Amino acid sequence: MDISTIQRDGVTVIGLPCNLDGTTSNEAQEKIMPLLVKECCVVLDLGQCDYISSAGLRVLLMMAKSLGASGGKLGLCGVSSEIRDIMDMTGFLDFFKIYDTVDGAVEGTLKEKKC
């Protein structure tokens, strides 16, 4: 899996090229977690992700906990209605800020914390 990363206004934007499920979540976690440095702001772009399983939700939760413990912030964007429904049913919407676009997520994450 080749995740993409770019820096935009001091925010690390991570793009996932596929669904986040039992097949891909371990590799995604291995590649994403080292990017979560102390007090950083991260946007996870799920625009190419149509499905998230419980294994994928676990990765999102680990990201949020890691960033929260280090004073960082996480924003999600490109969340499909199907994924939003899954996150709503599992209570995950309470833990994440979701934005429509990468630009909106970068701006919103920066407002949450000066990075």
- Backbone region of residue 94 per phi and psi (left: phi > 0; alpha: psi in -120 to 50; beta: other values): alpha
The boundaries of the domain holding residue 98 are: 4-112
CATH of the domain at 95: 3.30.750.24
Number of domains in the chain: 1
Give the global pTM.
0.94
Angle at 39 between CA 37 and CA 44, to 5 degrees: 65
**Per-residue tens of pLDDT for the chain, all 115 residues:** 899 999 999 999 999 999 999 999 999 999 999 999 999 999 999 999 999 999 999 999 999 999 999 999 999 999 999 999 999 999 999 989 999 999 999 999 999 876 5
Residue that is written with structure tokens 């993409």 in the block: 4
